[in-house]
Structure 1
């Protein structure tokens, strides 16, 4: 071995030996002076404290503090001077390790360079009056004087924490921060001009981060792990945390902060940035009062978000919260449905009105450039606001252009079914939000529908080439320029609903739609669906029981709302019926149809009508009151299918009818009269009338007047009253004065069994009395001579049988 190598080894061995000798000497010295050293360490640690630190025991652990000397302190307790009042130890550590400078130790001084706290609790307590146990660290006059003399406090350069429960309980500010520190390592460098810098690495569990204990904790039960670089300036008292990556739970964040300790209540500003985080993961980091509302929504893919928290550790209430988010090509799930291809920039703030408190009432959600597809319908909202989260109010401008057939995905096909056509929507809205549903909305704008095919399913009505313009003005709805075409019928309509949107959500049965209806011609058969009761919408099982869908709401509105129609039609067709210049007022409600002020020209005369149709079950009950003026009776009977009469038809009648009726009965959903359902009365006056080829009269003539022409009997004036009860018509005593025959008729005509009509026929020829002008004389002569008393009764096969009325002959 070369000489220089030998010398080097000898020197190196000598150094090691010297070090070992020194450490042995130190060990002997520490063990021999443990009590005095413990007293010295305790005095050093208690120096400048407004309280007391106690240490149960101390042992040297040399290798931990190499090249210094490490001391292990057991059961260390730190209390402030007012501990007896609040009973909260600021520090309670089973293991408290400190590293002291070896040269200082040899000089008899204790200079602490490193502190390690293990299995401990650090509890920072502030009572309701603002007193805090951290006052134990406040400077006193003695410390200031010491600093002025040039000495400096201990500079702790390394700090480690393991299994430490760290609590900040501020009862005055209603704040509670609690962390379980699994591991913390900090390396501190002190600046020449004052202050320090620290590199810190931590791993901890956040048990509570409650800026307001009445609202709950942020990031509760989340694991935090990552490095920090912290800077403290003595002059300003500001602690700055440089932005760095920190994992909260499984999500990476970039977090930076600033704490101003110069203030009486430390002020803080925390910046949090999440480059890509799932909605539910983000909401789980917030306080429960916010999380519960955000969890009503969801986004399938991660979003970008950043948050600013700004406040103080004093009694100032909640901190300022300002959140920004960017959502791109995402899927948004809301209580009202799913929005695909969703894009927007969002902002949340609890300082909507500057200068007010940071509360839910002063909170707002702002959405900018919101775009998406709702059930294949594209829409956009330039700016949407939701303000006052205590009593939320939503506002914005909703725009959309789409093929109207896509509405089937929104409203379903139980009420309305849409075919071709387009819709253009431009609505500004403002509405309260109750249980995440819009209520008491104010809407202005328009919905323009063109060239649409629409079917109203419950009534089996179909409209083609439909055009509708809906104008919303606050609560009111104005419906303009409607064109409906159903078969041959073309209808033009304008309407309005006052207070529509409020009633839509709260009381649909109070909705009254006022229509002005015009038409060149209407074929009532194409609207026969309105006669039947509404068919119940098909029941669809819902995922969320108890929550109504838009389709169900719309169906309920159609079912319960009322429609008041003023109708003016040039021509009205129904089967054989034709009327012109028709005017009517109709009220359609859940109970049926009320018909008022009907006036039509028909059969050369005027028909006026009032009545109602009650829609319950398959049979609809109707009541009508009519007045006929100078109506051609043949055309009238033909138009109404002879009113169900079989023996007397339009072919048997001629003349001009004036009549008043009050009739009730039943009508089917197909518009057919229900057999034997009618009741009421008919009062008529037939002028210039004729009875043509009427079998019952011809049958009588075969016996009494075999040589007279009874096929064409004319009347100067024929009037009477019929009372209708089911299948029987009561003919009140009536005189028939014709050109060929006079007769008195009274009795019952039945559509079934029970016909019993007494007919008194004088054989005297009425032509013999044509020249008599005295009415009384003419009346006296009417029944002169032989009078034939006949009785019309039930015959075979539903025909009427004529026989002599022997009972009436005996009476006479």
Structure 2
């Protein structure tokens, strides 16, 4: 095609377009005022309020092939504006785009509308008056409402081709003082794409909105306070006054919510919404909720990332709370529970505010059910929980749980200088019913509800390091309630000891919640053969310890333990001591062991004692005892008590049957050995059929006198006396000793150390082969005086050879 011809065609097209544009502009200027007046007239004729605008302007070809008309400074006021001074609508600018092609056909149709910088304020006062009456239709009797069908058709034609509405910086504030609602937000930049059918209007709304608050109940606070959102909504409006929400998304800061539902405005109206999100952190979710509700939830410190589905169903106009259902699935999170940190926690839950469908929606009718929650207590102990919370005005918790702890895996929770777990399992099941805020009251050291449960120990083995107590196995079953645990059975295997324990313990609950209290245990213990040599491994100075969770709990428990034991054992032995048929009461604390009315068969006789060992926390310990021995073998007594820490008279020197009442106390060293210098006591002594064998001090007498008599084995008819022990010195009153070799009187001080000072009176009538008994009853005759004293660790005898000297008996 030749270039000049091409240029001619182009110029022709441009000319045609210019003519059309000029015609359109001419038409627009010609009818601008008519359109402006028509719009104002049409609006004011149909509503009870008043619409005003400052001017109408237009721009050709703005937004496509057409004209854009702009209304400036628009105001919509109700009839009572002079009283309340609140405009229903104020717009800085409203732009309407009209299709030029339809305009050329003399049809006025709006393609798009743009709203710039305005405010919509709707209110309902406490008397029920609303400024929405400004847009209510006028009375049918009004002459201005008798518009012709042609005028009505013109209004519909105006909006028939509307395809888009844009809103910029539009503030919306809806207040209902009668129902306590306050909805306030700003449409920063919103685009609405519209499609029409004969029965429905479809809207695709997208853009940014800044929410100030969404308050549906002033007493409970508002949602979305000062939150920036980005909307992508698919809406519909049908002839039945129903707004539908198709699958849509709302981005609140960094969290995306999917929603769908509907608003039905017929009659009382109804709202149904379904909202879901996949990954929202609980702190951010709480920031969307009303502050009061968020604070109530946050104080329980359950703040995971969750996947949630929410359904809302309720009336629009009655002011009643909607029915809400929530499904939540958490990701793993750390929960700092009252009994310790629970890591890798995961769970699902369902909330409803209408648990009883026969009752209305309310906090009291609300319920949260978590059928399965799991985690690791202290990071190693697996725990499974299920719980239900009801009555959110005064929350009530029903929780059930269980755990099975492998003892070997709990080593990191114990200080190895205190406890070294080895093997076994501890299985715990529990149920709690009571208040949730708080579950445990530290002021009273009590739970705010009812606790029931049981614990089972299966082949538990551990080493208690300070005393080197190696527990090979513990099997047991315990039932527990709020403040009491009943030991159904507890079987402990330690060295050769097989101990059976039953009873109850009170005061354990506070230790599970990090506080302390006095722990009282009352148990019965039976052992076929109980060895106590392990007591000697006690370490008065503990090794350096490190703070560990369960060690800390155990240490505090032991420090506050008050243990009362009814002991029964077929045999008890400690070092050289041995007894059978042992029974009695034993009280144990961290600082002491005390026995009351312990009965046993020992030393060939019967032994009853009350006493104990105390001051375990000091370098030296105190042993004290009060008791009675009946018909015991004196040799076995000396053997069992290791000759009471002296070597002068030993179990190798004595035999006979001993009966005695005694009180005794002494200090023990860190190895639980007697410290003889600290001994104190009193002894009522009665020995029958006694025999003194190979006693060196008496053998020395034989070198001086009675050389033909048998001093190797001296037999006694009976000995009876009172003794006072002070340190290593045993003081005795003068006592007659009638033996197989001679009769003598002895008194003074016998020392287990080096202060022996005994005075022996030997009546010279002993020289007769067969003296009369009366001649040996008193010291009125001639006597041989022998003083036995300790010199350089040996007993020395000093004699008085003045046989004629009268020795007067001491005055009584």
Bin the TM-score by the shorter chain: 0.7 to 0.9
Q: Give 1:545's aligned residue.
A: none
Instruction: Provide the TM-score with structure 1 as the length reference.
Output: 0.83
Matched, 1:167 2:173: yes
Matched, 1:484 2:497: no
In 1, the alpha carbon distance for the partners of 2:62 and 2:42 equals 21
Q: Give 2:444's aligned residue.
A: none
In 1, the alpha carbon distance for the partners of 2:632 and 2:142 equals 119
Q: Give 2:779's aligned residue.
A: 783
Q: 1:703 to 1:142 in 2, by over 3 A?
A: farther
In 2, the alpha carbon distance for the partners of 1:143 and 1:607 equals 118
Which of 472, 477, 482 is equivalent to 1:469?
A: 477
Q: Give 2:23's aligned residue.
A: 21
In 2, the alpha carbon distance for the partners of 1:808 and 1:681 equals 33
Which of 230, 233, 247 is equivalent to 1:243?
A: 247
Matched, 1:229 2:237: no
In 1, the alpha carbon distance for the partners of 2:345 and 2:766 equals 95
Q: Give 2:547's aligned residue.
A: 540
Q: 1:555 to 1:5 in 2, by over 3 A?
A: same
Q: Give 1:305's aligned residue.
A: 308
Q: Give 2:186's aligned residue.
A: 180
Which of 517, 526, 529 is equivalent to 1:518?
A: 526
Which of 344, 365, 368 is equivalent to 1:365?
A: 368
> 5 Å matches for 1:25-174?
25-27=27-29, 30=32, 33=33, 41-56=39-54, 58-64=56-62, 69-83=67-81, 87-99=85-97, 114-128=112-126, 130-142=128-140, 146=145, 150=149, 151=152, 157=162, 158-174=164-180
Q: 1:352 to 1:724 in 2, by over 3 A?
A: farther
Q: 1:275 to 1:687 in 2, by over 3 A?
A: same
Q: 1:528 to 1:279 in 2, by over 3 A?
A: farther
Q: Which moved more, 1:480-489 or 1:11-20?
A: 11-20
> 5 Å matches for 1:267-666?
267-278=270-281, 280-289=283-292, 291=294, 293=297, 296-297=301-302, 299=304, 303-312=306-315, 316=319, 319-327=322-330, 330=332, 332-335=334-337, 344-354=347-357, 362-371=365-374, 374=377, 379=382, 381=384, 383-388=386-391, 392-401=395-404, 403-409=406-412, 416-430=419-433, 432-434=435-437, 439=447, 442-444=450-452, 446-457=454-465, 459-472=467-480, 476-497=484-505, 501=509, 509-528=517-536, 538-540=545-547, 549=549, 552-615=552-615, 616-666=617-667
Q: Is the 8 A contact 2:424 2:460 kept in 1?
A: yes
> 5 Å matches for 1:660-809?
660-698=661-699, 709-751=710-752, 755-765=756-766, 772=773, 777=774, 781-796=777-792, 798-803=793-798
Q: Which moved more, 1:449-458 or 1:111-120?
A: 111-120
Q: Is the 8 A contact 1:441 1:475 kept in 2?
A: no
Q: Secondary structure at the match of 2:22?
A: helix
Q: Secondary structure at the match of 1:141?
A: coil
In 2, the alpha carbon distance for the partners of 1:558 and 1:389 equals 40
Q: CA deviation at 1:791?
A: 4.6
Q: 1:419 to 1:765 in 2, by over 3 A?
A: same
Q: 1:759 to 1:93 in 2, by over 3 A?
A: farther
Q: Secondary structure at the match of 1:564?
A: strand
Q: Is the 8 A contact 2:439 2:449 kept in 1?
A: no
In 1, the alpha carbon distance for the partners of 2:321 and 2:383 equals 34
In 1, the alpha carbon distance for the partners of 2:751 and 2:147 equals 128
Q: Residues 733-789 of structure 1, C-alpha deviation per residue, up to 9 Å, x if partnerless?
A: 4443433344444444455565554444434329877754xxxx567x431322344
Q: Is the 8 A contact 1:379 1:398 kept in 2?
A: no
The aligned length equals 788
Q: Is the 8 A contact 2:190 2:207 kept in 1?
A: yes
Q: Which moved more, 1:681-690 or 1:110-119?
A: 110-119
> 5 Å matches for 1:250-261?
250-261=254-265
Q: Secondary structure at the match of 1:651?
A: coil
Q: Residues 1-55 of structure 1, C-alpha deviation per residue, up to 9 Å, x if partnerless?
A: 799996896477335413323314534664xx5xx87666545444444544454
Q: Residues 570-604 of structure 1, C-alpha deviation per residue, up to 9 Å, x if partnerless?
A: 11111111111111222223553331231111121
Q: Is the 8 A contact 2:783 2:806 kept in 1?
A: no
Q: Residues 603-631 of structure 1, C-alpha deviation per residue, up to 9 Å, x if partnerless?
A: 21111112243344333334321111111
Q: Residues 615-656 of structure 1, C-alpha deviation per residue, up to 9 Å, x if partnerless?
A: 443333343211111111111111111222332222222111
Q: Residues 442-470 of structure 1, C-alpha deviation per residue, up to 9 Å, x if partnerless?
A: 55554333333123345542211332223
Q: 1:809 to 1:390 in 2, by over 3 A?
A: farther
In 2, the alpha carbon distance for the partners of 1:331 and 1:486 equals 41
Q: Residues 355-408 of structure 1, C-alpha deviation per residue, up to 9 Å, x if partnerless?
A: 667666554432234455556767574843344556555444434556432243
Q: Residues 145-200 of structure 1, C-alpha deviation per residue, up to 9 Å, x if partnerless?
A: 9489643767654432212333334444444433332211113445545x633221
Q: 1:561 to 1:73 in 2, by over 3 A?
A: farther
Q: CA deviation at 1:682?
A: 2.1
In 1, the alpha carbon distance for the partners of 2:166 and 2:382 equals 56
In 2, the alpha carbon distance for the partners of 1:171 and 1:364 equals 30
In 2, the alpha carbon distance for the partners of 1:87 and 1:270 equals 35
Q: Is the 8 A contact 1:50 1:80 kept in 2?
A: yes
Q: CA deviation at 1:702?
A: 5.6
Q: Which moved more, 1:409-418 or 1:656-665?
A: 409-418
In 2, the alpha carbon distance for the partners of 1:141 and 1:799 equals 135
Q: Is the 8 A contact 1:614 1:621 kept in 2?
A: yes
Q: Secondary structure at the match of 1:717?
A: strand
Q: Give 1:544's aligned residue.
A: none
Q: CA deviation at 1:259?
A: 1.9
Q: 1:104 to 1:706 in 2, by over 3 A?
A: same
Q: Is the 8 A contact 2:627 2:663 kept in 1?
A: yes
Q: 1:769 to 1:610 in 2, by over 3 A?
A: farther
Q: Secondary structure at the match of 2:583?
A: strand
In 2, the alpha carbon distance for the partners of 1:424 and 1:56 equals 81
In 2, the alpha carbon distance for the partners of 1:415 and 1:147 equals 97
In 1, the alpha carbon distance for the partners of 2:245 and 2:258 equals 11
Q: Secondary structure at the match of 1:421?
A: strand
Q: Residues 685-708 of structure 1, C-alpha deviation per residue, up to 9 Å, x if partnerless?
A: 112122333345555666676665
In 2, the alpha carbon distance for the partners of 1:536 and 1:354 equals 63
Q: Is the 8 A contact 1:509 1:562 kept in 2?
A: no
Q: Secondary structure at the match of 1:765?
A: helix
Q: Is the 8 A contact 1:212 1:317 kept in 2?
A: no
Which of 206, 209, 218 is equivalent to 1:201?
A: 206
Q: Secondary structure at the match of 2:668?
A: strand
In 1, the alpha carbon distance for the partners of 2:675 and 2:438 equals 49
